[in-house]
Structure 1
Amino acid sequence: MVLDNVYELLECPVCTEFMSSPIHQCPNGHTLCSMCITRLKSCCPVCHLKIGSIRCLALEKIAEPLELPKQPMELAYNCPYSRSECSIKGSVTHIVTHLKDDHNIVYFDMSHESVFKHSYAPFREKDNTTGLLCVLSRYGQQFCYQFEHFVLGAVPCYIAFIRFMGEDTQAKRFSYSLEIGGNGRRLTWEGVPRSIRDNPHEVCDSLDGLVIPQNLAKLFSDGNEQEFKVQVRGCIRRK
């Protein structure tokens, strides 16, 4: 039990990997591994103060005798944007910048918000929605929230899901919930984010998300028969 608490103290809040010397801290005492300090340009992701040369010697002494996993190499990922055949590959930081600059993706910083909301309108009988992607920042990690239109059998459906911008082993450290509600009704999905290494079509085919048949979506709408809208609320949690 004590060792578990030690490992929890040594877990970097950004990359969730174990920290080893040198361990730096901001003026408020928030600690980061040396790799994440470089990624975040010495800005604390918690209080946004500048991280200077202050070392957390206490944690360094705790980490010194322990056999901790080494920091992984920077990994490359494919662009998760599903509306075009994008050939861009790179680190998570590079992909996030690429999504914002080249695909005009909406970026939600959830540092101070536990819930995000996204509205879809209008939905018509013949909806030609092909997909929507947003980037969410939570616990210093990056996530992709996606809303896709697909056909299940002969039934037009929507599916909303979240993927983790990283490896599957890290993704399993988080959980998420998505909810669509309105007119006294509520439909909720709870699950574990997939890695962005998983193709979004695979997620749709496995129904691993909040699946909403098009006709069912009307029940949650606050619009009319010809044009209606629904709102999805989402939350990401650390296990």
Structure 2
Amino acid sequence: MEGLLLELECPVCTEYMLPPITLCHNGHSICNSCKSEMHSCPTCMGEFTDIRNISLENICRIVKFPCKYKQNGCLEILPLDIILRHESECSHAVYTCPFLIASLECSWRGFVSDMEDHIKSKHNEFSDARHVLGIHKARLPKFGTSSAWCQALFTMNEVFFRISKVIGDFLYCCVLYVGAKDKAPAYTYKLTINNNEGRGSVCACHQTVGYQSDIEEIIRKGNCAVFHCEFANTCINEDGELVLEEEIFSAAAS
């Protein structure tokens, strides 16, 4: 079986080639990711074709693949369709610190299971260590003078990361799921701001997105909670904070 897996290794990146696998004019193959970045075959410099390498594709369907996080300790060896699903949620996947998104320097890399300890020890001023379901009060200090805030939140045995930004006349708030991006749509967040004088409230609901997402694009498209600053300014408390009532819940629980 190991010999067959060697036949599937891309000669450029050494990752396994997966269907569709195409050939160059001289019969060589590379993975689709590498092919999209190259103008000619790295083995013979010949031109690529659209002819499929049926033999290698058939091998893909009969062999079992080790998890790509094998070097991190994962021992799973599974058929193609199952290994891809497994890798999307493998507990041995390595992630970067979410505070990099907020332009805070941090070189930490590790498992999601270790991320809470890291955040509490290195970024404790931005984290909320409570493990409860229900409404959580998120505070944006110095609202009106500051323009960006971030906070990690731990709930339902998961890690979430909220980024809030004032751009122009609007406050944008986006809650990110820290983990396999395929799991992000399983969670929804609800943010509510209340007027201090009892003049009403405004709330917004959105699905969480993977923390690997392009935040600027999400904000540009308005695919997050959006509040008008004119109303938000009427909700600032005596400490200069804008308090958001925040709730994160899973689709299974809703």
Q: TM-score category by the smaller chain?
A: 0.5 to 0.7
Deviation string for 1:149-205 (max 9, x for gaps)? 242xxx253222211111222111221211111232211111110111224334333
Q: For structure 1, which runs of at least 5 residues remain unmatched after alignment?
A: 1-66
| Separation in structure 1 between the aligned mates of residue 160 and residue 148 of structure 2, nearest angstrom | 20
- TM superposition score normalised by structure 1: 0.58
Q: Give the match for residue 211 of structure 2.
A: 196
Matched-pair contact (CA < 8 Å) for 1:174–1:236 = yes
The 3 A distance-change label for structure 1 pair 158 and 83 is: farther
Q: Which of the numbers 162, 170, 185 marks the counterpart of 1:145?
A: 162
Q: Shift of residue 220 of structure 1?
A: 2.5
Indicate the SS of the match to 1:98. Answer: helix
Kindly indicate whether residue 245 of structure 2 is the aligned counterpart of residue 233 of structure 1. yes
| Separation in structure 2 between the aligned mates of residue 218 and residue 73 of structure 1, nearest angstrom | 42
| Separation in structure 1 between the aligned mates of residue 130 and residue 237 of structure 2, nearest angstrom | 28
| Separation in structure 2 between the aligned mates of residue 121 and residue 192 of structure 1, nearest angstrom | 25
Kindly indicate whether residue 183 of structure 2 is the aligned counterpart of residue 173 of structure 1. no
The 3 A distance-change label for structure 1 pair 73 and 231 is: closer
Matched-pair contact (CA < 8 Å) for 1:180–1:232 = yes
Deviation string for 1:187-233 (max 9, x for gaps)? 1111110111224334333322222333331132344xxx7432101
| Separation in structure 2 between the aligned mates of residue 178 and residue 116 of structure 1, nearest angstrom | 10
Q: Give the match for residue 24 of structure 1.
A: none
Higher helix residue share: 2
Moved >3 Å (runs of 4+): 67-71, 199-203
Q: How many residues align?
A: 162
Matched-pair contact (CA < 8 Å) for 1:172–1:193 = yes
Instruction: State the structure with more CA Rg.
Output: 2
Q: CA RMSD in A?
A: 2.7
| Separation in structure 1 between the aligned mates of residue 214 and residue 120 of structure 2, nearest angstrom | 20
- TM superposition score normalised by structure 2: 0.55
Q: For structure 2, which runs of at least 5 residues remain unmatched after alignment?
A: 1-81
Matched-pair contact (CA < 8 Å) for 2:162–2:175 = yes
Percent of residue pairs bearing the same amino acid type: 15
Kindly indicate whether residue 81 of structure 2 is the aligned counterpart of residue 72 of structure 1. no
